[in-house]
Structure 1
Amino acid sequence: MSWTEVRRDDRIVEWERSDGHATIRLRRGPNAWHVRVDRLYQSAEGRGYEGERFESESEARETAEAWKDEYDVEN
């Protein structure tokens, strides 16, 4: 599956998986960066949510890219 950027503004970048059952969000907070993955219950691998906080933008972006690979499942 692939990921499509569905939102981009000055604080948030969000990608949606091609099946529509998972999203990954990169968010710039006031003091840190946050990355989260959210899977709907319809997702092939089941419902789930995971989030992490980072001090640097580069670490947050690396995690977002790694999660795209990790959660890129085939139906």
Structure 2
Amino acid sequence: MSWTEVRRDDRIVEWERSDGHATIRLRHGPNAWHVRFDRLHQAPDGRGYESERFDDEAAARDAVEAWKTEYDVE
């Protein structure tokens, strides 16, 4: 499956998986970067949620790319 950017503003970038069952969000807070993965209860593989905090943008963006690969389903 693929991921499509569905939101972008001055603080948040969010991607949605092509099946519509999962999103990944990158958020710039006042002191850190936050990345979260959220999968719906209705997804075939069930509910899932993960969140991490990063001190720098590069590490946060690396996590986004890693999660896109990890949570991609065929």
Shorter-normalised TM range: over 0.9
Aligned to 2:36: 36
Identity of counterpart residues, as a percentage?
80
1:22 and 2:31 correspond: no
Aligned equivalents of 1:56, 1:49: Cα separation in 2: 22
Give the root-mean-square deviation of aligned CA atoms. Answer: 0.6
Please give the per-residue CA displacement for 1:9-34, whole angstroms capped at 9, x wherever unaligned.
11000000000000000000000000
Tell me the TM-score normalized by structure 2: 0.97
Residue 46 of structure 1, CA deviation:
1.0
Which sections of structure 2, spanning at least 5 residues, go unmatched? Answer: none
Total equivalences in the alignment:
74
Which letter maps to 2:31?
N
Give the deviation of 1:44 after TM superposition.
2.2
Gaps in structure 1 of 5+ consecutive residues = none
- Within the alignment, does 1:48 sit opposite 2:48 as a pair? yes
Moved >3 Å (runs of 4+) = none
TM-score by length of 1: 0.96
